[in-house]
Amino acid sequence: MPYGLLREYSVEGYIDFSKIGTGAIDLTAYKYFVGENAVNLTLGLDAYVEDNKGIDEICIEFYDNQGLAASYHIMNKDSYSGQFSEVIPLNGVTNTFKL
């Protein structure tokens, strides 16, 4: 068995020191997979919050050809910098206050 770096577990990125404390939030990754009863959503964010401030939640809005179809709220994260995944239930599988 070869010994070495496992690319699927590596994390790449950098800190932009000029943005520290500016309040800038950059979307760095976005991918999703729609299954039968759920959407698996992965987001990557670089959040450079201002001093003595934080992020309460992320609100993702979904639109169709009629306009706003739904909003999903991501809350209670220790940090909003980096990548994280959410599973959004569909087809009435579960009722959640987030959607």
Q: Which has more confidence, 27 or 4?
A: 27
**Residue scoring higher pLDDT (43 or 15):** 43
Res. 3: pLDDT tops 60: yes
Average pLDDT of every residue of the chain: 83
Residue 91 CB-density burial (10 A; 0-12 exposed, 13-18 middle, 19+ buried):
exposed
Whether the per-residue pLDDT at 94 is higher than 60: the answer is no
**Model confidence at 40, in pLDDT bands (50, 70, 90)?**
very high
What are the residue ranges spanned by the domains of the chain? 23-89
Nearest-angstrom CA–CA distance, 93 and 28: 30
* Per-residue pLDDT at 12: 66
Q: What is the CA radius of gyration of the chain?
A: 17
Token pair belonging to 69: 């179809």
**Amino acid identity for residue 54 in this structure:** G
Cα–Cα distance between 53 and 55 in angstroms, integer? Answer: 7
Residue 96 banded pLDDT, cuts 50, 70, 90: low
pLDDT for 80 equals: 84
What's the rounded Cα separation, in Å, for the pair 70 and 5? 41
Q: How confident is the model over 29-35, as a mean pLDDT?
A: 89
CA gap 39, 32 in Å, rounded: 7
